[in-house]
Amino acid sequence: MNMHVAGSTAGLNLPLAVLDVLMPMHVALNAEGRIRHVGPTIAKILRGAPVTGVPLLEVFDLRRPAEVTDFAGMIAQAGRRLSLVPKTSDHLPLRAVLMPLPGGDGMILDISLGLSFARAVSDFSLTLHDFSPCDQTIELLYLHEANSSTAGLSRHLSKRLQAAHAAAQRQARTDVLTGLNNRRAMDHELHHLLVERSHEFSLLNIDLDRFKHVNDTYGHAAGDAVLVAVGRILGYELRRTDFPARVGGDEFLIILRPALAPEVASCIATRLIERIQEPVRFENNDCRVSASIGVVSTAQYLTRPSIEQVLADVDGALYQAKKAGRGRYALAHEGGMARPS
More confident residue, 8 or 130: 130
Query: Which residues are known catalytic residues?
Result: 250
The domain segmentation of the chain, as residue ranges, is 2-135, 138-168, 183-340
Q: What CA–CA distance (Å, rounded) separates 138 from 140?
A: 5
Pairing of strands 329-332, 290-297: parallel
CATH assignment of 183-340, among 3.30.70.270, 3.80.30.20, 3.30.70.920, 3.30.300.30: 3.30.70.270
Q: Where are the beta strands (DSSP E) in the chain?
A: 2-6, 11-15, 26-29, 35-38, 60-64, 81-86, 94-100, 107-112, 202-209, 243-246, 251-256, 280-282, 285-287, 290-297, 329-332, 338-340
| pLDDT tens-digit series, residues 297-322 | 998 888 888 999 999 999 999 999 99
Confidence at residue 143, expressed as pLDDT on a 0 to 100 scale: 58
Task: Give mean pLDDT, residues 50-78.
Answer: 89
Q: Are 25 and 39 in contact (CB under 8 A)?
A: yes
For the cut 60, the answer to whether the pLDDT of residue 338 exceeds it is: no
| CATH code 3.30.450.260 for 2-135 | yes
Q: Is 120 in contact with 92 (CB distance < 8 Å)?
A: yes
Q: pLDDT tens-digit profile of 19-33? A: 888 888 889 999 888
pLDDT grade for 268, boundaries at 50, 70 and 90: very high
pLDDT band at 122 (very low <50, low <70, confident <90, very high): low
pLDDT digits (tens, 9 = 90+) for 195-221: 877 789 999 999 999 999 999 999 999
